[in-house]
């Protein structure tokens, strides 16, 4: 549990909460820690939304599937990040998305009902948690708006460049490492995998990018400053 508390310390939901208070809050909210193997379902679409997940280790993906078997990756979260808070705050009774372990992972479940309702055991810090929650929701909204901008690009190439540019900005480097395999990247960008692979190959031949697995170099022909 000591290691878990170390991860929680970096979690935005608990920003501004002292360690001893954070431990008391976790005891009040904690609905248990679950371990998942890669590709195991963490939350299935249609299941009730009763908890908010905190990723303690590994990564999870939020996936939306249509009636025809189409699959789109909405987002991916790694250690220290949370998921499900938007659904809980919107009081959506059944999840419209599926959450899948993209690697072996551990997830702490926090009771959504206790978090969103006043609790005498942690009332002194409830306002801080809710304020942090509002900021997280705002950041997620910005992220989703940015993703819509990426997906609104007309061609596969434009989508790739917009996505890689966003990753370079977030990581502060022109050599970003993306969290997706080729198939996952195609699902995230809502493009055909074969078309994506061909376009990446053309972009590399034209020296717009270089890549090895999930590490990319943008504008490799430009001199480094």
Single residue among 114, 149, 184 that ends a domain in this structure: 149
Residues 136, 187 within the same domain: no
| End position of a domain, from candidates 89, 121, 149 | 149
User: For residue 122, is pLDDT > 60?
Assistant: no
Same domain, 109 and 122: yes
Determine the 3-state secondary structure of 78 from DSSP: strand
Q: pLDDT tens digits, residue range 80-120?
A: 999 999 888 888 889 999 999 999 999 999 988 888 876 66
Determine the Cα–Cα distance for residues 97 and 104; give it in Å rounded to an integer: 20
For residues 160 and 206, give the distance between their C-alpha atoms in angstroms, rounded to a whole number: 14
- What mean pLDDT, rounded, does the chain reach? 88
Which runs of consecutive H residues, i.e. helices, occur in 65-192? Answer: 85-89, 112-116, 123-151, 156-171, 182-189
Give the rounded percent of residues in the chain with a pLDDT score beyond 90.
Answer: 60
pLDDT digits (tens, 9 = 90+) for 41-67: 999 999 999 999 999 999 999 999 887
Q: Each residue of 173-211: pLDDT tens digit?
A: 999 999 999 999 999 999 999 999 999 999 999 999 999
8 A C-beta contact, residue 72 and residue 190: yes
Query: Do 3 and 80 meet the contact criterion of CB atoms below 8 Å apart?
Result: no
pTM above 0.95, yes or no: no
What is the C-alpha separation between 189 and 147, in angstroms, rounded?
9
Contacts of 114 (CB under 8 A, 6+ apart): 28, 29
pLDDT recorded at residue 32: 85
Q: Residue 30: inside a domain, yes or no?
A: yes
Domain that holds residue 182: 153-218
Dist CA 14 CA 5 (whole Å):
11
């Amino acid at each position: 549990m000591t290691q878990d508390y170390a991860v929680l310390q970096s979690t935005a939901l608990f920003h501004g909460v002292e360690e001893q208070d954070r431990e008391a809050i976790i005891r009040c909210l904690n609905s248990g820690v679950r371990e998942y193997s890669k590709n195991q379902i963490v939350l299935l679409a249609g299941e009730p939304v009763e908890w908010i997940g905190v990723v303690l280790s590994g990564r999870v993906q939020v996936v939306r599937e249509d009636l025809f078997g189409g699959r789109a990756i909405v987002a991916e979260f790694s250690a220290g990040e949370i998921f499900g808070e938007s659904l809980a705050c919107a009081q959506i009774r059944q999840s419209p998305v599926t959450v899948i372990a993209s690697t072996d992972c551990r997830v702490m479940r926090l009771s959504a009902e206790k978090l969103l309702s006043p609790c005498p055991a942690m009332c002194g810090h409830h306002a801080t948690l809710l304020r942090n929650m509002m900021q997280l929701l705002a950041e997620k909204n910005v992220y989703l708006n940015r993703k819509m901008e990426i997906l609104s690009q007309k061609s596969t190439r434009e989508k790739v460049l917009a996505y890689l540019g966003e990753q370079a900005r977030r990581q502060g480097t022109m050599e970003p490492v993306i969290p997706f395999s080729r198939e996952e990247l195609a699902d995230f960008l809502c493009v055909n995998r074969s078309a994506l692979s061909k376009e990446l190959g053309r972009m590399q031949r034209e020296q717009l990018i270089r890549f090895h697995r999930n590490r990319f170099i943008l504008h490799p022909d430009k001199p480094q400053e």
